[in-house]
Amino acid sequence: MSDDTLFARVKEEAHRSNPYPLFAALRECPVSRQEDGTYVAATHAAIASLLHDPRVSSETLPPADRPKTGNPFKDWLVKPVRDHITDTHRPFIFRDPPDHDTLRAAVMHQFTHQRVQAMRARSHVLVDEILNKLGDARSIDIVDDLAYPLPVTVICELLGVPPEDEEQFHGWATQLATALEPDTHQDDELRAENSRTFDAISEYMQGLIAQKRKAPQDDMLSGLATEGTDGAPRMSDFDLIATAILMLVAGHETTVNLITNGMLTLLRHPEELRRLREDPSRAPRVVEELLRFEPPVQFRTRKALCPITHGGVTIPESAPLVLLLAAGNRDPEVYAEPERFDPDRTDNRHLGFGGSLHYCVGAPLARFEVEAALVALVRRLKNPRLTADPPPYRQGSALRGPKHLRLTIDGIDP
């Protein structure tokens, strides 16, 4: 019988800087039952199999229950309607086929090769602009100064959000990222704050969608607001709002964390930092290895639609199921020397972008953004040194990454 408190410990802040010994212990059982009734899949084979299993559902959000306002009109008339709308128009990361597939196809249709390539070139320009603004600074916080602003700007430009409105997206993105943490659903205060943020961003999006319908431009939101895909009708306003918010939430903190985890890992492996500086064409393999070694999305939660038996363990119907992607990424059955950061691996089948139906739609974009950031950082920062190792981490255990990554530098090259 394995230790059934391991996953609870993964969520404790004390283990945030290095959860990997706990993952190794969890891997001893491909699927284990934890004391709170959650089942955890921790080996690469178990995770890959459950990611592809149609008996496993992504519809894990509890029913909507917005906090009461004290105003009887709002609480008894408006609230039930809004709760119903929220329940029936969830973002597609929390939906199963067929609805998931229809919504995802519409987004993929807008994620054209040209748009992604344009954002690739743009990412290099944006990174340079951000670094130029720092002038002759002698210290830099990789999170606040670079990793944080970059992905919001990229998503806003991709969606077609006017630049002057970008600033408020930063706050919204940070607040809503907490919705991807499993324990948020039990925290009433956090749920209430998320609900207020959701209302604010929804109202903003509604106005923007109306503008795009009137005067479409060459951006994703205009495309989604005006076109249907493969004969399907165009998305409803509610689904469109949920989708736009999903892009912001799914594409923001994940990318921040990969840039930051990336710089931290390179500073801990100076030889790899030097090699990347001397040969920027190594960036794609560095990024792929980072997605294995320090993945921003450490785990995702699912639900069993019926009893599922895996490796002698039966996951009961409706039981919460955690797919511990970051543990699968260091499975010695799949990787030689899994605890070693080695961008030259030849068979890197990492789970950093998930797999199967819900595989990350923003993967190509995220890769380009992170490549642009890391290449510029290693080339332009003079003699970067960590001020604290490990750095302070954000609270989240599902989306894991440093809160700040402060470096001392001797200047920034042009």
Point out which residues pair with 203 in neighbouring strands.
none
Candidate residues 246, 267, 286, 378; the one interacting with ligand HEM per rule CB under 6 A: 246
Contact status: 361 vs ligand HEM (CB under 6 A): yes
Smallest gap from residue 237 Cβ to ligand HEM (A):
18
Of the candidate residues 286, 297, 321, 377, the single one contacting ligand HEM (CB under 6 A): 297
Binding residues for ligand HEM restricted to 29-68, rule: CB under 6 A:
58
By CB under 6 A, is residue 362 in contact with ligand HEM?
A: yes
Quick note: the x/- pattern for ligand HEM over 206-245, rule CB under 6 A, is: ----------------------------------------
Q: Which is nearer to ligand HEM, 145 or 371 (CB)?
A: 371
293 binds ligand HEM (CB under 6 A): no
Q: Find the residue with minimal CB distance to ligand HEM.
A: 362
54 CB-contact burial (10 Å; exposed 0-12 / middle 13-18 / buried 19+): exposed
Give the whole-angstrom CA distance, residue 158 versus residue 122. 11
Taking CB under 6 A as the rule, does residue 247 contact ligand HEM?
yes
Choose, by CB under 6 A, the member of 343, 354, 391, 401 that binds ligand HEM.
354
| Residue among 250 and 286 whose Cβ is closer to ligand HEM | 250
User: What x/- string results for residues 83 through 112 when contact with ligand HEM is judged by CB under 6 A?
Assistant: ---------xx----------x--------
Residues 254-273 binding ligand HEM (CB under 6 A) are: 254-255, 258
Identify which of residues 202 and 257 has a Cβ nearer to ligand HEM in the complex: 257
Binding site for ligand HEM (CB under 6 A): 58, 92-93, 104, 155, 246-247, 250-251, 254-255, 258, 296-297, 300, 352-354, 358, 360-362, 365-366
